[in-house]
Amino acid sequence: MNSSIDDRIHGNQAFKASMRAQWDTAAAGWNAHAADIRHWLHKPTDAMCRMAGVRRGSRVLDVAAGSGEQTLAIAQQVGAQGHVLATDLSPVIVALAQDNAIRAGFTHVETRVADGEDLGVPEASFDAAVCRLGLMFFPDPLQGLREIHRALRPGGGVCTMVFSRPEKNPCLTILMSTALKHAGLPARDPFSAGGLLSLGQPGRIDALFRSAGFHEVATIALEAVFHLPSVDHYLAFVRSSASPILQILGRLDAASAEAAWSEMRERLMSFTSHEGWEGPNELLLTAGRRPEGTT
């Protein structure tokens, strides 16, 4: 194998091992905030399912499903005649998704630990696919989209949800820049591969969808304000489940990490409103279809 390809593959594997460890650690926190996440993402999630073509009886692939908040919504939509496969890189978060599906009484939900860039599912075995706030964490999102394309039957649809540009997601920008500053690390290109905002550059995700072979590619931008009672509720969410920020602060001693949290709190206070706390976000929902006659 060519040595630069070899280096890239090894780099990606190391990146994913670190990503898996981060999400294993953050899994319980993400799951504990499922109700807040549902409230925040309820409307964009409905739009994502519509754009992917999820309907009663569909077989749906849910990539980077986390603890399965959207998986359960999809399971409800497809009904017992349908099927949902929830996949994720982190075994700890997949175990939580499985518990949640069992608790909800959904026997048509299956869970599997799988790297989104190598799903290991049979060719053309799903009617629709979704990936909510996951694709931006892939070191090679084009490979992730090629896997989804392969997994869909010809004519099947996909919709992904990612964060848009930094200025439209100011709280994420504040968290990241403050964490990097306190960790003594240089500012990062927000669009670099595998980061929170890596697919937010205008036109980037559409180009990836087309390169993966999808037709009828279209992106919409949706506002999704995170409404919480106070800035401290937002910080509690971030401190228990925002794995990219936790990873950066993990290199600091306790006092230095507290100094970073305290500066974040101060900067995030500016989003306090008469209704509590309202953190603006903008999401990109991108849909595409595997063309008919491609097997």
70 is a contact residue toward ligand SAM (CB under 6 A): yes
Q: Which is nearer to ligand SAM, 97 or 268 (CB)?
A: 97
What's the closest the beta carbon of residue 290 comes to ligand SAM, in angstroms? 20
Q: For residues 176 and 246, give the distance between their C-alpha atoms in angstroms, rounded to a whole number.
A: 10
> Under rule CB under 6 A, which residues in 107-126 are in contact with ligand SAM?
115-117
Strands across the sheet containing 276-279: 226-228, 276-279, 272-273
> SS3 for the chain, per residue?
CCHHHHHHHHHHHHHHHHHHHHHHHHHHHHHHCHHHHHHHHHHHHHHHHHHHCCCCCCEEEEECCCCCHHHHHHHHHHCCCCEEEEEECCHHHHHHHHHHHHHCCCCCEEEEECECCECCCCCCCEEEEEEECCHHHCCCHHHHHHHHHHHEEEEEEEEEEEECCHHHCHHHHHHHHHHHHHCCCCCCCCCCCCCCCCCCCCCHHHHHHHHCCCEEEEEEEEECCEEECCHHHHHHHHHHHCHHHHHHHCCCCHHHHHHHHHHHHHHHHHHEECCEEEECCEEEEEEEECCCCCC
Q: Which is nearer to ligand SAM, 118 or 292 (CB)?
A: 118
Burial class (CB in 10 A: 0-12, 13-18, 19+), 103: exposed
Q: Which is nearer to ligand SAM, 220 or 269 (CB)?
A: 220
163 is a contact residue toward ligand SAM (CB under 6 A): no
66 is a contact residue toward ligand SAM (CB under 6 A): yes
What's the closest the beta carbon of residue 111 comes to ligand SAM, in angstroms? 12
157 is a contact residue toward ligand SAM (CB under 6 A): no
Binding segment toward ligand SAM, per CB under 6 A, in 88-96, 162-170, 178-186, 252-260: 88-96
Binding segment toward ligand SAM, per CB under 6 A, in 82-90, 145-153, 182-190, 232-240: 82-90
Interface with ligand SAM (CB under 6 A), residue total 21
Q: Which is nearer to ligand SAM, 43 or 262 (CB)?
A: 43
What's the closest the beta carbon of residue 272 comes to ligand SAM, in angstroms? 24
What's the closest the beta carbon of residue 13 comes to ligand SAM, in angstroms? 11
Binding segment toward ligand SAM, per CB under 6 A, in 61-69, 168-176, 250-258, 284-292: 61-69
What's the closest the beta carbon of residue 123 comes to ligand SAM, in angstroms? 19
- Between CA 208 and CA 190, with CA 15 as vertex, the angle to 5 degrees is 55
Contact track, ligand SAM, 123-152, x by CB under 6 A: ---------xxx--xx--------------
What's the closest the beta carbon of residue 45 comes to ligand SAM, in angstroms? 8
What's the closest the beta carbon of residue 135 comes to ligand SAM, in angstroms? 8
Q: For residues 5 and 101, give the distance between their C-alpha atoms in angstroms, rounded to a whole number.
A: 39
Q: What is the largest CA-CA distance in the chain?
A: 60
90 is a contact residue toward ligand SAM (CB under 6 A): yes
What's the closest the beta carbon of residue 22 comes to ligand SAM, in angstroms? 8
Q: Which residues bind ligand SAM (CB under 6 A)?
A: 16, 19, 23, 37, 64-66, 69-70, 88-90, 93, 115-117, 132-134, 137-138
